[in-house]
Amino acid sequence: MPLALIVHGGAWDIPDNEVAEHQEGCRQALAAGWRVLEQGGRALDAVEAAVRVLEDAPIFDAGVGSVLNRDGDVELDAAVMDGETLRSGAVAVVRRVRNPITLARRVLESQVILLVGQGAERFAESAGIPFCDPTELIVERERARWQELHQQSNYRAQDAFGAARAKQSAPQPTSLSHPGDTVGCVALDRTGQLAAGTSTGGTANKLPGRVGDSPLIGAGLYADTSTGGCSTTGWGESIMKVLLAKTATDLIGAGHTPMEAARAAIDVLARRVGGLGGCILLDAQGRPGLAFNTPRMAYAYRTEGGDEIVGV
């Protein structure tokens, strides 16, 4: 089976002065995942390796560099899925784990699927995953963006969960002008196994405890070796409504090419719920697909015997 790997670094209105860094981050993640595949590693291993690189790159909204919630804290979500067994692992609202994709991988190997908050961190401790100081995940760029949003929304700590704030907790954006740099990867290994992974810091100035699409199977990711694998990015509240990742892979199962499936899935997202976002795909033959309806989406992919493609 020919090797294939595709990554994304978020779909939003990426500023011109950040494009090169987004592309380089995706290029490095692609290289890390590809090395695993070339050495005979499993698709799951390649996905974890690639996403860890993206989490460690401060330019993306995942791991280091994530956006801040309304309290000024980083809360991380991630998930992985094995396309052969349909097993998955996911974590949400994690604050002290630098690479939540690795924690999600450990959850996949357990008897549960999704762990959140303190429970996820207790599991991390038992699995030997080291903790970091939460402040290490915050970069000055996102602190400044948070302060701007904080002022714009006239935030008041005492009514953060009141009716006035709840009304604004899930705005319907006309453009993703603030980071939506959720990151993800889909890989196909030599044995024909597919895997997908997604990791994020969520949406800027989100309510503490908010969980988006990224750790939810069928929404933020999906993998099935009989159809394909998908990772999504964008406005999570809309992505969840149409189960974007499952919709995209089902379209492959219905006979569409990955590129056709990606475009059709994004059309569903826009037409049915006015959603904004993007997705990346591989089918069981390793053919890539991608689509987005935001101004830009950072991505990179490679198939065995083909050129490395990097774009926004």
Find, among 237, 166, 245, 191, the residue nearest to 8 by Cα: 245
Q: Identify the bridge partners of residue 8 per DSSP, sorted by sequence position.
A: 184, 299
Find, among 226, 140, 242, the residue nearest to 234 by Cα: 242
Strand ranges (DSSP E) for 66-131? 76-82, 88-94, 114-116
β-strands 114-116, 88-94 pairing: parallel
C-alpha–C-alpha distance, residues 17 and 108, integer Å = 37
Say whether 303 is catalytic.
Answer: no
Strand ranges (DSSP E) for 68-144? 76-82, 88-94, 114-116
Q: Are 70 and 155 in contact (CB under 8 A)?
A: yes
The string over 261-295, giving b where at least 16 C-beta atoms fall within 10 Å of a residue's C-beta and e elsewhere, is bbbbbbebbeeebebbbbbbbbbbebbbbbbbbbe
Set 85, 102, 182, 257: catalytic member: 182
- Catalytic site residues? 182
